[in-house]
Amino acid sequence: MIDLEVPRKFLPLVERARGVAEEVFRPISRTYDRAEHEYPRELDLLSAVIDGMSSSGAGQGAGASSVVAAVGSGERHPAAPTVRNGSNLSSVLSILETCRGDVGLTLSIPRQGLGNAAIAAVATDEQKARYAGRWAAMAITEPETGSDSGAIRTTAVKDGDEYVLNGEKIYVTSGERADLVVVWATLDRSLGKRAIRSFVVSRANPGLKLVRLEHKLGIRASDTAAFHLDDCRVPAQDLLGDPDITTAGGFGGAMQTFDNTRPLVAAMALGLTRACLDTTTELLADAGVHVDWDRPAHVQHAAAARLLQMEAEYEAAHALTLRAAWMADNGRPNSMEASMAKAKAGRTGVAVSLACVELAGATGYGERELLEKWARDSKILDIFEGTQQIQLLVVARHLLGLSSSQLK
């Protein structure tokens, strides 16, 4: 069963990540919020340290391991011979800490992109080795598809030993800076979701054309790109997964990516929430308002009672996120749990950050503290990797035993 204490082997990783948040990210957070699209050069040294930690086995970034059922696919809670705390949990714990400093900077760390998690989820061993050490962005969203990944219009047509990709992708996190872009495309539109696969495209590919960088409400340190794919030729070996798999299994494999990335996004929201709560608690204490954890909320100051409520929401989201990551590490299907964690943490992050701005008054609304920035950053965590509404829909389908065609 899951233990809510941080595993001893991960304590050094958590401490280092916390140091990064407080000593590296927070001091430069406002600078790169104002200098949108400027690459944070301070991250080059940090990424080298992370690479060294990963190669030594001390920690891993966004490329968490894939979720594979330990027994038959129909069993949700198989009996595992051992209990593991692996790369999914370590990624969640480290990302939670770095996002106490800055979500946009966390997303900008080289070779820790969400596309790396996509590769980890469905790539073959040969592909994982070939893409090792590369920074991968992920391109799913299109102008007319939104949250419906099954409605992707970007096409991939086989031509000899290559696929030719044509289409448009928007809101690609780290799209300009990454070495690779994992592009979702359909092999045959008439087959719907069954024909959707993911392809690894080199950022230097002349058929992958950068259209613009988006100006955003938050996470401004992270570049968000839009691309056109114009007769973009990709070697067949860069179709993620086993090339012998039929189109009937393509979309399920591609969607497995989200079982990896949704707990990571939930961890980002948790880190931001924790930062807001800690800062607001300190500001209120300076003003003479203290939380008494041993007394009922209704007999305390209204601001203290509000903090107690928000702490409870944080703890619930934290437990759900650790559970989703732990299940992945132990080979248990976690699609529902990943969506539950992402939905709860995303919603909590938005609500808590705005409430903390309110509780801090003029200090919260101004730029002297980072609270107003964290409030702006929070909203994307309730949107990307599947909106709040999509997460609740996924959970409902699992609970009711209904397919996507039965419950839309």
205 vs 256: CA distance, rounded Å: 26
Confidence of residue 55 (pLDDT cuts 50, 70, 90): low
Q: Are 251 and 150 in contact (CB under 8 A)?
A: yes
Q: Whole-angstrom Cα distance, residue 121 to residue 181?
A: 15
Write out the residue range of the structural domain in which residue 264 sits: 1-408
**pLDDT tens digits, 16-34:** 999 999 999 999 999 999 9
β partners of residue 224 = 173
How many other CB atoms sit within 10 Å of the CB of residue 197? 25
How many independent structural domains does the chain possess? 1
pLDDT per position as a tens digit, 298-355: 999 999 999 999 999 999 999 999 999 999 999 899 999 999 999 999 999 999 999 9
| pTM across the whole model | 0.91
Provide mean pLDDT across the span 107-117.
87
CA diameter of the chain: 74
Rg over CA atoms, the chain:
21
User: Do the beta carbons of residue 285 and residue 304 sit within 8 Å?
Assistant: no
Query: Distance (Å, rounded) from C-alpha 294 to C-alpha 372?
Result: 30
User: Which residues are known to be catalytic?
Assistant: 385
CATH number of the domain that residue 231 is part of: 2.40.110.20
Tell me what pLDDT residue 250 has. 60
